[in-house]
Amino acid sequence: MSQNRRQFLRSSVASALCLAGWGGAGGGARALAAVPEAPLPVIDATTTNAFEITAVAGETEFMPGVPSRTLGFNRPYLGPVIRVRPGVDVAATVVNRTGVPISVHWHGLLVPGNVDGGPHQPIPAGETWRPVLPVAQPPATLWYHAHTHGETAPRVYAGLAGVLIVDDGKDRGRGLPARFGVDDLVLVLQDKRFDAAGEAVYRPGDADLMHGFLGEVAMVNGQPGARFAVPAGMVRLRLLNGANARNFDLSFSDARPFALIATDQGLLPRPLTLTRLRLTPGERAELLVDFAGGDATLVSAPHAETRGMMPMGGMMHDMLPLPETFTAPFPVAAFVVDPSLSAEVSTTPAALDGEADDLGTPTATRRFVLDDMGMMMGGGMAGMKGMMGQGEAAGAMAFGINGQAFAMDRLDADVARGSTERWIVSGMMMGHPFHVHGVRFRVVSENGAPPRAENSGWKDTVFVEGEAELLVHFDQPASATYPFMFHCHILEHEDLGMMGQFTVS
């Protein structure tokens, strides 16, 4: 970055933070890191077809001068953006130097179960895992994260997550911005909670287990008060909700429209113009935003407004109030036009080449009820603490699917390889982001109505708010030794047992 651009960012940061009301919207005013400008590092494996990441323990100063203990890949917090090309085998090397066992799952990558990196593929402390990933899917923004059974929530919260981009090198021809780090930006949306000293903490209480652990400071790429210098033209934002539990309900401070160009599993057939987009944990979305109109701040509505609370959920809320600190829209990231950056794309392409739905007729229907009534019916807090190993009571179900908490040694379904199935997923109390490994799916209906705009493309994670009907296609094999998972992506729910597993054969 040039000296000029640095100075430009420094001089404008104070006013931008001020305008955006940073530090005032959440749990009281806090001093935030002054000049967040370090982008996530990139590993370009599109020509080498190989990459290596090392999970490490480190320290991160989210708050100036106050180190927090964190985990990351190749760095103290989060991991590099890895770019891979479809049509080749990519040799991955994952080294575990964290001192604890981890596993690393490629979320959204359509690869066989034996390289999927789920809970059945632990990498012991000090060891190395070398899966070969046969990448063969349309371009998409995916991610990778820790996935040890019962410990996904603390590990991801600590920082074991990164973005994985399938890039076919044809985005210029599609009329899309393709200068990575200039007009093609990655934003990992998360939130953190801090103790009085300013150290990031993860100590979930009962309400946090129930609703999922919410932070009180929004972070982008590990930085509170994140800001990006952008050219005065079209910019592509690749958004990942990498938070444990928070829904981001996004819009721009000036309500400017933007184009949704891709969902979890890649491009739409044509852009959709929106002014608001909900992104729940595990989901990705790609936007085209026009900064010819000047600076803008990306804001989110409070979680309480978009968490999909159902009538039954009211009782739950009375027992354990949602630990949400935001009562008004809060800033997520600021975008400041930098005149020294040239704009290459000035219009949204009329069409994209996202594949249409050609899933055919489903050969089976399965129903998955996400059991979020458990704590009311099965022993309340005692049951939940028993499951978490924190109390003497055991046996009472807290969270499960179809009446059963996840068990490593129980297979929940066997699916025929090459088939399409109708999956009907529902919950009683609150919304849950439902994710399936190793597949892509279409959302056919939500509560009997056509899917919302953000669910109209290829997906691997969908926020189930009531009932969602999915058409799922199963191409990748998964054996009984290395089955695929399906689970709620509120990581506390996943760890508590709202997960199942299936083979594809």
Binding site for ligand C2O (CB under 6 A): 105, 107, 145, 147, 282, 435, 437, 485, 487, 489
| Residue 64: C-alpha distances to residues 210, 347, 493 (Å) | 32, 40, 32
Q: How far is the CB of 256 from Cu ion (least distance, A)?
A: 32
Q: Binders of Cu ion among 195-224, rule CB under 5 A? A: none
Q: How far is the CB of 142 from ligand C2O (least distance, A)?
A: 9
Alpha-carbon span 444 to 437, nearest angstrom = 19
Are the C-beta atoms of residues 263 and 441 closer than 8 Å to each other? Answer: no
Q: How far is the CB of 119 from Cu ion (least distance, A)?
A: 11
Q: How far is the CB of 172 from Cu ion (least distance, A)?
A: 30
Q: How far is the CB of 500 from ligand C2O (least distance, A)?
A: 11
Q: Which is nearer to ligand C2O, 280 or 325 (CB)?
A: 280
| Residue 154: C-alpha distances to residues 59, 213, 322 (Å) | 15, 10, 19
Residue 380 tokens read as 């309340």
Candidate list 299, 493, 499, 503; residue touching Cu ion; CB under 5 A: 493
Partner from Cu ion, ligand C2O, none binding residue 488, C-beta < 5-8 Å depending on class? Cu ion
Q: Nearest Cα to 181, choosing from 201, 165, 197, 196?
A: 165
Q: How far is the CB of 499 from ligand C2O (least distance, A)?
A: 8
Q: Which is nearer to Cu ion, 83 or 493 (CB)?
A: 493
Candidate list 75, 83, 107, 236; residue touching Cu ion; CB under 5 A: 107
Candidate list 260, 472, 490, 504; residue touching Cu ion; CB under 5 A: 490
Q: How far is the CB of 435 from Cu ion (least distance, A)?
A: 5
Partner from ligand C2O, Cu ion, none binding residue 386, C-beta < 5-8 Å depending on class? none
Interaction of residue 341 with Cu ion, rule CB under 5 A? no
Exposure string over 382-419, b if 16+ CB within 10 A, otherwise e: bbbbbbbeeeeeeebbbbbbeeebbeeeeebbebeeeb
CA 337 and chain centroid, separation: 27
Alpha-carbon span 383 to 315, nearest angstrom = 18
> Of 51-59, 302-310, 352-360, 426-434, which segment contacts Cu ion by CB under 5 A?
426-434
> Of 104-112, 126-134, 181-189, 474-482, which segment contacts Cu ion by CB under 5 A?
104-112
Q: Which is nearer to Cu ion, 60 or 501 (CB)?
A: 501
Candidate list 488, 491, 499, 504; residue touching Cu ion; CB under 5 A: 488
| Torsion region of 236: left, alpha or beta (phi above 0 gives left; psi -120 to 50 gives alpha) | beta
Alpha-carbon span 73 to 92, nearest angstrom = 13
Q: Which 3 state secondary structure label does DSSP give 314?
A: helix
Interaction of residue 489 with Cu ion, rule CB under 5 A? no
Q: How far apart are the first and last CA of the chain?
A: 51
Residues found near Cu ion in the complex (CB under 5 A): 107, 432, 437, 488, 490, 493
